[in-house]
Structure 1
Amino acid sequence: MNRSVLAIGGHIGDMDLTAGPTLAKLVGEGASATIVALTYGERGHPRLSPAEYKTQKLAEGEAFATAIGADFIALDHSDGFLPDTDEVALELASIIREKQPDTLITHWKHSIHRDHEYAAKLAERARFLAGLPMDHELPRHSVRTFLHAENWEDMEGFQPTTYVPIPDDAFYRWVGAIRHQAFARGETYGFRYIDYYTALMTMRGCLAGYPRACAFMDPRGPEVTKLAGP
């Protein structure tokens, strides 16, 4: 079983939606989980200013993580302006060294959103840097499993290889946590995120032989594997 999982999203809320049910499941099985947002996602509200929405997003991200039993980290980068640099990758590498995850989850590398694409590249670069011997106060760490989460904005070329069964308790913990985020409720632009991802879990569960499942892509190849579960 995976004992530690790190989920890296482009904005606060990205991994909550896509990896949140899986994180809730794994935490329920005794694993530790950390959600990292590379930007605040503060430019995504049509009525609130970026400064106002940043404050709200930070509170929402912290509350979600607490509700499912995960840690939450937000890096100080701005929505829409995430830099694809070694400096940011090193920030992530330090978190990897600290948290020592068995599994890293991030966006798929092809997206309609540049911050998502950069998040995928930065996560992969950080994974490499975390395993290098460096002059660092934390020991180096090699991440065993690297997965891309399924996201409706990141579907170009996405092919599921890994299905995670989501039991009822994890699903309802996720629903209870995610419904407190404004964008997930459809408050920002009207997209019914909770309905979409609930239906997606049902569809993936049909294909994988479970009532509900989350799908991930392992870039190493097409073999279907399981991250956890029976």
Structure 2
Amino acid sequence: MSRTVLAVGGHIGDMDLTAGPTLAKMVDDGDRAIILACTYGERGHPRLSPEEYRTQKVREGEQFAEDIGAQFRVLDYSDGFLPDDDEAANQIADIIRAEKPDIVITHWRNSIHRDHERTAILVERARFLASLPVDSPLGRHGVRQLLHADNWEDAEGFAPDLYVPIPDGAFQRWRTAIQNQAFARGETYGFRYIDYYTAMMSAKGCLAGTDRACGFAVGGSSKFQLAGP
């Protein structure tokens, strides 16, 4: 039976980088994947204006999703200015009601980046709001599983308790797709994102007894699992 997974990031590219290999694997397994960015992430390029980089980021997000077989959405918020309010939470809740994901993936609750922290808070609030019997043509929906992705900017207190093995095909498709994003190639801050997350998958694979794996912290109860979601 196929499932729907919704990956919600603070900026375009966040979930592509951290949850992307898992999304590619799930698409290979016959599942449906949706990537939602809460902001454009447009203020991070040292040479392009925010307006120019916003256009590029949207194009990169659309292309990445297409390359791994996912859908792409972005909310109309600016990088660094994501609000922590019920209006934003309800926007995400409406997407949950409409798309009815079985699994939602987002950031860990603690981060050096405010947009990441606020995204995690908004997603947990949206998950609750979507489950309520409210007067909405979309109805209500309860998300079965909430997962927090492993992000180097969200490391404080993060401890994975679920490991998802990443087959070679899904890994190669992710790596090819993520190369098309400027920040991931190191063009913005100079950080070797792709090398870092590739190495991290190898390290997690050692723990999971496979070549590569992605680690997640399970929202709510944290019972250890060694399996795909």
Instruction: Check if 1:111 corresponds to 2:142.
Output: no
Shift of the alpha carbon at 1:7? 0.3
| In structure 2, distance between residues paired with 1:222 and 1:130 | 22
SS at match of 1:119: helix
Contact 1:2/1:103 (CA < 8 Å) preserved in 2? Answer: no
Aligned equivalent of 2:60? 60
Q: Distance in 2 between matches of 1:28 and 1:57?
A: 25
Q: Please tell me the residue identity of whatever aligns with 1:32.
A: R
In structure 1, list runs of 5 or more residues that go unmatched: none
Structure-to-structure mapping, 1:205-224, within 5 angstroms: 205-224=205-224
Which secondary structure state, in structure 2, belongs to the residue aligned with residue 42 of structure 1? coil
* Equivalent residues of 1:11, 1:38 under 8 A apart: yes
Does 2:9 align with 1:9? Answer: yes
User: What is the alpha-carbon distance in structure 2 between the residues aligned to residue 105 and residue 227 of structure 1?
Assistant: 16
- CA RMSD of superposed structures (Å): 1.1
TM-superposed deviation, 1:221? 3.5
Which residue number corresponds to residue 76 of structure 1?
76
Give the letter aligned to residue 171 of structure 1. F
TM norm structure 2: 0.98
Could you report, residue by residue, the CA deviation over 1:4-50 in whole angstroms, capped at 9, with x for unpaired residues? Answer: 10000000000000000000000000000000000000001011000
SS of corresponding position for 1:164: strand
Corresponding residue pairs, total: 229
Does residue 146 (structure 1) correspond to residue 149 (structure 2)? The answer is no
Residues of 2 paired with 1:226 and 1:92: CA distance? 29
TM-score normalized by the length of structure 1:
0.97
The unaligned stretches of length 5 or more in structure 2 are none
Cα deviation, residue 60, structure 1: 0.1
Counterpart residue number, 2:31: 31
Q: What is the distance in 2 between the residues matched to 1:147 and 1:95?
A: 17
Match of residue 199 from structure 2 = 199
Q: Which moved more, 1:120-129 or 1:1-10?
A: 1-10
CA distance in 1, matches of 2:102, 2:82: 26
Fraction of identical pairs, as percent: 66
Q: Given that residues 102 and 143 in structure 1 are in contact (C-alpha distance below 8 angstroms), is that contact kept between their aligned partners in structure 2? A: yes
User: How far is 1:225 from its partner?
Assistant: 1.5
Distance of 1:226 and 1:34 partners within structure 2? 24
